[in-house]
Structure 1
């Protein structure tokens, strides 16, 4: 992990210089993608035997945080691409080897069941349209949930599609994370063999590598909420780094304390991550009550971090409104990343 963080730190100045370019292009330039492949950043949840570099959850989150502090779109895309490795043991082992071993293997897709599937000999026929397939630009595999009618009941199954089965609709129009190519994907009556249908979180073969095995014991909701939150944690931290460099910072008075609050929230976030990791390392079943405590805790910390940034942004003057200013892009990226449904804060009542 230290070598990865060192590589990110060394590359950070050059990558930050490319932020406006990434936003203008609406995707990652090819040389940055090559840098990601070189360091296997999309393979942080892939077993070593498939060419991965499985990384303990707390360390993985720091990698995503650092990348997000460099550029929001970059951090978002790496966390999304890496998280797809969680699906590896949900396929038969030889299928997983085929799908995840290539150097450039990476998944894009959606967890929302916006498709329909029906059984046919040898597999399924699947159709649907799913939004927000971040990283569709370079994905080697697309995954999505669909409703399958089975034994008179509707169940949710996940399906993996090859790029030639997917049509990308370039409709990503958010005002932040513009470089993520989070476009819609359309599948029209595609045949998916049984080998590429799976259930998220269902481990189908014994994973013997200790770190990879522990990663796959994480409840999917824990993995999702912590990795998604790490992007917002990195962006909130970067906002205050940039705010301190502006003349208006000296006029904020007690509002400067919001930077300390965000640093405290970051520390608490990693305590929750360590807490989750300790459970899966022990190999015991993850307690349902503990899972809920961690999920709600992470959501509250992200919500509080966003509120702190909004409070300060309102008093930073006209300069931060210019889209060409790095602090403006960070603010927009944070607002967009924190809207993810997994980060929806708990209801507080009327």
Structure 2
């Protein structure tokens, strides 16, 4: 049974997310048109605490449990998919340095109790040279969601030391990197997930940690969940939110529309196929969410008891995020298909749901590899 403070924190964060949904929905087209989040969207996420969702409490964060994160990101995605995506990336981008970097770096990144905006690409693409006091880092990283409004970047890199390869995260100001204007894409346009690069950038030792090796410096059990569970949950919440938005769109805005070539045309609401889509889709999304929160609650209980998340559960955490993505993509695609020609026009939310879900489904975290790994 969850104690009262735990449930109060969950309700507070969900209420904070709901409090900005009108703004996020209003700004969705501006985010798309600008190929990055608008200033209003960024301010709404920042002021409501969404970028602090995963940050250690000692640094002013919510340090929310994984299931709560799912529910919060679902609310955001329902209103604005790009905003939810940037919230989940931005939250991780400040949480990981906040939890793992030493105090000397944290004092500079989080000055006077402030929380910066960040972006992160964890894949170890960068190459480094060990130098006096730190590293020389070079590389080009893709898919840096939210980089246009970020102040700090976290980038994965490899370091060769004593004949062994280390996978490290390197943290540095966004102003130190070159941002490449290459985010001309089909979906999640508003995330502004451009490439960035550095060439021989000096990164002090204090602004780096070895993934899965260096212990956390602050925070509670959340940061012991490790990869992939620490980030897989985000994809589950995002997907369920977009799926719900598509179902509600067809139920609320398209139900009176009639299709057919004869005088016996019937409304979408009267078609058994659409009725089944709405009913079954609703249950499938609820079932997927329930499974995701159940498994993430289990992971939370495991680390809260001081134990390590077992390999099987780590596989399940990633696979259930993939499952949520698959279910949402199928629901969105069916909703789009049943509405007909009107769905292809830009003002129709269903075309955006379709594009955003297909883009989200390309992420490596929610690829079929998750099922394959679990099946092994």
- Contact kept, 8 Å, 2:188 with 2:355, in 1: the verdict is yes
Q: Deviations over 1:118-172 (max 9, x none)?
A: 1111111111001011111121211111222222343322211222320000101
1:227 to 204, 210, 234: 234
Q: Deviations over 1:279-305 (max 9, x none)?
A: 122221221122223322332232233
3-state SS of paired residue (1:262):
helix
Greater mean deviation of Cα atoms: 182-191 or 237-246 = 237-246
Q: Deviations over 1:93-133 (max 9, x none)?
A: 33224323553412213122222101111111111001011
Deviation at 1:225, TM superposition (A): 1.1
What 5-or-longer segments of structure 1 have no aligned partner? Answer: none
1:122 to 113, 116, 133: 133
Give the total of aligned pairs: 345
Q: Does 1:82 align with 2:105?
A: no
**Distance in 2 between residues matched to 1:339 and 1:89, nearest whole Å:** 29
**Distance in 1 between residues matched to 2:187 and 2:217, nearest whole Å:** 41
The root-mean-square deviation of aligned C-alpha atoms, in Å, is 2.1
Q: Does 1:18 align with 2:8?
A: no
1:254 to 246, 269, 276: 276
3-state SS of paired residue (1:286):
coil
- Contact kept, 8 Å, 2:166 with 2:210, in 1: the verdict is no
1:270 to 280, 293, 298: 293
Larger-Rg structure: 2
Who is 1:244 aligned against?
251
Who is 2:262 aligned against?
none
**Distance in 1 between residues matched to 2:175 and 2:323, nearest whole Å:** 41
**Distance in 2 between residues matched to 1:100 and 1:333, nearest whole Å:** 32
Who is 2:41 aligned against?
32
TM-score, structure 2 as length reference: 0.85
Q: 1:294 to 1:47 in 2, by over 3 A?
A: closer
Who is 2:6 aligned against?
none
Q: 1:21 to 1:11 in 2, by over 3 A?
A: same
Q: 1:10 to 1:49 in 2, by over 3 A?
A: closer
Deviation at 1:43, TM superposition (A): 1.3
**Distance in 1 between residues matched to 2:217 and 2:135, nearest whole Å:** 26
- Contact kept, 8 Å, 2:24 with 2:83, in 1: the verdict is no
**Distance in 1 between residues matched to 2:307 and 2:181, nearest whole Å:** 44
3-state SS of paired residue (1:323):
coil
Q: 1:61 to 1:301 in 2, by over 3 A?
A: closer
In the TM superposition, 1:291-330 aligns within 5 A as: 291-330=314-353
1:95 to 102, 105, 108: 105
Who is 2:192 aligned against?
181
Deviation at 1:63, TM superposition (A): 0.9
Who is 1:214 aligned against?
221
Q: 1:11 to 1:139 in 2, by over 3 A?
A: closer
**Distance in 2 between residues matched to 1:96 and 1:22, nearest whole Å:** 31
Q: 1:273 to 1:192 in 2, by over 3 A?
A: same
3-state SS of paired residue (1:244):
helix
Deviation at 1:23, TM superposition (A): 0.8
Deviation at 1:327, TM superposition (A): 2.0
Q: Does 1:5 align with 2:14?
A: yes
Who is 2:165 aligned against?
154
3-state SS of paired residue (1:111):
strand
What 5-or-longer segments of structure 2 have no aligned partner? Answer: 1-9, 258-267
TM-score, structure 1 as length reference: 0.91
Q: Does 1:67 align with 2:89?
A: no
Who is 2:261 aligned against?
none
